Amino acid sequence: MIKFLSRLLAVLLTTTALSACTGGESNVEIGNRTGVLHFGNGSEPQGLDPHVVTGVPENKLVRAMFEGLTVKNPWTLEPEPGVAESWDISADGKIYTFHINPEARWSNGDPVTAGDYVWSWNRALHPSMGNQYAYMLYPVVNAEAFSRRETEDFSDVGVKALDDQTLQVTLNAATPYFLQLMDHYSTFAVHPETILKHGAMTDRYTKWTRVGNMVNNGPFNIKEWKLNRRIVVEKSDTYWDKDKVRLNGVVFYPTENIVSEERMFRVGQLHTTGTVPLDKVPAYQAMENTPYVQAPYLGTYFYLINTKRPPLDDVRVRQALSMAIDRVKLNDTVLQKSNFPAYSITPPGTMGYNPPKLFDYDPALARQLLADAGYPDGEGWPDVELIYNTNESHRKLAVALQQMWKDVLNVKITISNQEWKVYLDSVDTMDFDIARRGWIGDYVDPNNFLDLYITDGGNNSTGFGDPRYDEMILKLAPQAKTQEERYRIFYEAETMLMEQMPILPIFTYTSKKLMHPSVRDMPSNLMDSLNLKYVWLDPDWEKDNTQ
């Protein structure tokens, strides 16, 4: 361990005193011996309720403690049995019959039942719940109608408990990715009695998710939550597949400061980080036997535009801002050539689909569009603010774009960082002009990116809405007879979206992390999907690695 850390320090030419790597056992050494993973998890989570949370840090935690009808295999991303031990699909692809595993248990010992899912989907779809991911269940008959209060009778929704262990779901149309949705936390069941013990069905942020109160059904249970310090989970004794779980626990650290996170890794406080500071990427890439792991990632980094606020309510202004961004230069410099320039919301090659490219870096046209909108050479430009959640990489990108907009358009954009929960609230309430955003695929299909911008969609937050766009995404694409026809509809819809420019796409992600060589069976995959059920730590890693 000390040799490994010393090699990192030598390569990175770090001068800081790092006594932790020699003064007794590090977290990593103790963790390897006790089977406890130390995990850098980005920001402090906004909560742990599957029907409330929306972010990547929350996703990692919720999926450690809860399990859906299906789970993602971390190597193939194919759905495999979770709470449902098997399922049947009708010939027309519209009826799914899930057979609940009789061994599936809540952490208090209660059996997980089909009725728990009916109750939980009622909660997830209920407008009073405010679930921003309610649309994940819209493929289900009348789910959207119930969510929008076009019907108030949940029995109209196509989900039925035929008995305690049989759940029948009826869809509006064949949905190729439906099984993938069953691994998304917004479709997870929660324990009804526990929810009601601490409030009403649709109350948000109640005490049910606190240590000592939470009842869950995944491979790990919450043991400790110290705000802004750590969340500790331990292996569950009631999980149906506990014999496959090799970790005894996981410690999740809120590592919003990625410079500190990288330092924590170097001194043995973390087994793995959530990301890597951009300026450290070249040094790690140059290392022999590097702990740096980079892989394709199904996600897009972009900026939301509040299309209800002037001057951003003018499409010419939005287009000018986009065409003033030199994405290639941005990737080659600030991003250390570690991502790919993006010109639309859907990552190219998603299940064979490629989005339109309607614009490029074009300073002359950008200036003309701004002049046409009434701001020649930036004259009369009002105060416009760009917000981002606290993160050094987000700051560097914002500063670079701020300068590009000044150089090309002669406009001033103020930039402001916000703590994660404040930032999420600003985005949710559309209290911003321009806001940093990233979207990571919840399932591998173009629909997962395009359905973000349906009118009043839970994650829209731009003010954009178009009945024709809604019809294409919600009705025409699901009814398409062939993949070619479906993709043609998507292409037309995405063309409409990028002509209106309610977002400024910046780059297609790659996942970047540092991983200690003792970590086993945590493979990279297109969704950076973490399945802790398979992960284990090798205490003899130095013998197994010829380093």
Are β-strands 166-170 and 95-100 bridged in parallel, bridged antiparallel, or unpaired?
antiparallel
Which pLDDT belongs to residue 303? 98
Say yes or no: 36 and 124 in one domain: no
DSSP H/E element including 316? helix 315-323
Quote the number of domains for the chain: 3
Residue 194 has pLDDT above 50, yes or no: yes
Query: Collapsing DSSP states into helix, strand and coil, what is residue 34?
Result: helix
Domain that holds residue 38: 2-46+218-273+515-544
Query: Starting from the edge strand earliest in sequence, which strands make up the sheet with 36-40, in order?
Result: 36-40, 249-253, 230-235, 220-226
Length of the chain equals 547
Is residue 334 assigned to a domain? Answer: yes
DSSP 430: T
What's the rounded Cα separation, in Å, for the pair 152 and 158?
14
Query: Collapsing DSSP states into helix, strand and coil, what is residue 169?
Result: strand
Is residue 182 assigned to a domain? Answer: yes
Portion of the chain with pLDDT greater than 70, in percent: 95
Q: Which residues contact 346 (CB under 8 A, 6 or more apart)?
A: 300, 353, 355, 446, 449, 450, 490, 494
Say yes or no: 341 and 420 in one domain: yes
Mean per-residue pLDDT over the chain, rounded: 94
Over residues 259-311, the pLDDT tens digits come to 999 999 999 999 999 999 999 999 999 999 999 999 999 999 999 999 999 99
Distance of CA 29 to the CA centre of its chain: 30
Q: Which residues contact 512 (CB under 8 A, 6 or more apart)?
A: 275, 276, 281, 292, 293, 294, 338
Tokens of 140: 């289900």
Say yes or no: 492 and 392 in one domain: yes
Is residue 525 assigned to a domain? Answer: yes
Is residue 487 assigned to a domain? Answer: yes
Residue 449 has pLDDT above 90, yes or no: yes
Q: At what angle do helices 363-372 and 392-409 cross, to 10 degrees?
A: 70
E strands, 426-502, in order: 434-440
CA dihedral of 534, 536, 541, 544, whole degrees rounded to 10: -30
CATH code of residue 261? 3.40.190.10
Which pLDDT belongs to residue 15? 30
Is residue 286 assigned to a domain? Answer: no
Over residues 20-33, the pLDDT tens digits come to 444 589 999 999 99
Say yes or no: 184 and 137 in one domain: yes
What's the rounded Cα separation, in Å, for the pair 353 and 464?
23
CATH code of residue 462? 3.10.105.10
DSSP H/E element including 416? strand 413-418
Q: Which residues contact 510 (CB under 8 A, 6 or more apart)?
A: 294, 295, 296, 297, 338, 339, 340
**Position 542 confidence tier, pLDDT thresholds 50, 70, 90:** confident
Over residues 353-383, the pLDDT tens digits come to 999 999 999 999 999 999 999 999 999 999 9
Is residue 283 assigned to a domain? Answer: no
